Amino acid sequence: MATFDISNAGQLPVWRRPVALLVLMAAAMPLAFATWSALLNNFVIERAGFTGVEIGWLHTVREIPGFLSFAVIFVLLVMREQLLGILSLITLGVASAVTAYFPTFGGMLFITFIASVGFHYFETVNQSLQLQYISKDRAPQVIGWLVAVGSGASLLSYGLLVATWDLFDLSYNTVYMVSGGACALIAVYCWIAFPKFEATPQLKKMVLRKRYWLYYALQFMSGARRQIFLVFAAFMMVERFGFEVHEVTALFLINYLANMIFAPMMGRALGIYGERNILVFEYVGLITVFLLYGGIYYFGWGVLLAASLYVIDHLLFAMAFAMKTYFQKIADPQDIAPTAAVAFTINHIAAVFLPALLGYLWVVSPGGVFLLAASMAGVSLLLALMIPRNPAPGHETVFSRGLAAPAE
């Protein structure tokens, strides 16, 4: 790959510019990950006999690479972020493709860990590249469009899965091979077709700055809260309501269709109303959703409410990209890559132990898991209220006085 200064990217054809690369990567990742997620609960229950305990352990193992995301900083000593992102996508795609060959508890832990290394290292680098390649004034809308692109790729995967699963009596192996292989092939194309983009030189060491403390806290709570949604919301649909593969996939399809429509709108709203208001809206919504999830177990509310809440839940979580633009506004440009790695690790601290612990709570009180999630969303709401209306270096929280960012 030739090297190209990102400030001159306008000289390149549209299909070779940095945003085009971000679009292709945003489309590739969900082809593998979203399909893996759609099939996972049915696959592990039907083929591996999982209960809430095993699914909790599986997701704990899946989050270990996320907890180790800070190691990206050391990998970047020997390769560029762009190349690392592409190689991570290839790892995710290949591991996802062979998932059906490991239908045991130990086998699922192993192949999930490998796929998770690809997923989490890609996500770490991708967040960094987005903030480096997209200007601050365009970031809310462009990132909203990237969310929509990812949702569109997931929608395509789920639409094909719903349409063909029963019609062609597809096997888990076939679907995993096709979706994972497509992800890997797109990544190989990105390796060949795009130049090496040069952005602001990044610090290649651990960065922990006191003035980023609110961003770190938001990331920690987001990671803890997200686990309950990812692990137990879909598992509930299979275990409690007996959803089959095509029904779970149809639910995911609705999620991503809604994201395709609303993510660009969220991006525009973020540009108008700011990170504080968008995150406050998200967390109030999540508190409500999680309380209603708990009501499904305590009061016997039905499947229609559960499915509706799942879609709303997914839409609210999509608004979390407001945290990215908040950090972009307060950060030194050279801090973006190392802080993305550190923040991803912080995001996964609770993820390493929470799914396994909550798996045991799930066996005793599924509703209690969702009540705990509601309390976590409440803490996130309090943190969001500390974001200033116009964040900037030296004005990172409502407690700051708008002074110049201190040297640390």
CA 393/CA 401 separation, integer angstroms: 11
Dihedral sign computed on CA atoms, order 258, 347, 324, 18? negative
Residue 77 pLDDT > 50: yes
Name residues whose C-beta falls within 8 Å of residue 384's C-beta, 6 or more positions apart in sequence. Answer: 218, 276, 279, 280, 282, 283
At 1 the three-state DSSP class reads coil
Q: Running DSSP on this structure, what letter comes out for residue 104?
A: S
Query: In terms of Cα–Cα distance, which of 197, 266, 158 is closest to 25?
Result: 197
Greater model confidence, 311 or 21:
21
Dihedral sign computed on CA atoms, order 312, 42, 239, 357? negative
Strongest mean pLDDT among 157-166, 212-221, 364-373: 212-221
Question: What is the tens place of the pLDDT at every residue in 97-124?
Answer: 999 888 888 898 999 999 999 999 999 8
Label residue 353 by pLDDT band (50, 70, 90): confident
Label residue 247 by pLDDT band (50, 70, 90): confident
Element (H, E) at 5: strand 3-5
pLDDT of residue 98: 93
Residue 86 pLDDT > 50: yes
Element (H, E) at 198: strand 196-198
Q: What percentage of the chain reaches a pLDDT higher than 90?
A: 28
DSSP assignment of 9-44:
GGGS-GGGSHHHHHHHHHHHHHHHHHHHHHHHHHHH
* CB 287, CB 381: distance < 8 Å: yes
**Angle at alpha carbon of residue 325, lines to 227 and 144, rounded to 5°:** 75
Question: What is the tens place of the pLDDT at every residue in 160-203?
Answer: 776 776 655 567 888 889 899 999 999 999 999 898 887 777 76
Name residues whose C-beta falls within 8 Å of residue 288's C-beta, 6 or more positions apart in sequence. Answer: none
* CB 1, CB 191: distance < 8 Å: yes
Q: Give the mean pLDDT of the chain.
A: 84
> Mean per-residue pLDDT for 349-359?
76
pLDDT of residue 403: 47
DSSP assignment of 340-403:
HHHHHHHHTHHHHHHHHHHHHHHHH-HHHHHHHHHHHHHHHHHHHTTS-SS-BTTBSSTT--SP
pTM for the full predicted model? 0.80
The CATH number of the domain covering residues in 3-384: 1.20.1250.20
Q: What percentage of the chain reaches a pLDDT higher than 70?
A: 92
Q: Map out the domains of the chain as residue ranges.
A: 3-384
pLDDT of residue 166: 63
> Mean per-residue pLDDT for 309-324?
85
Which two three-digit tokens encode residue 117?
């290394």
pLDDT of residue 343: 85
CA 110/CA 99 separation, integer angstroms: 10
Question: What is the tens place of the pLDDT at every residue in 375-398?
Answer: 999 999 999 999 999 999 989 999
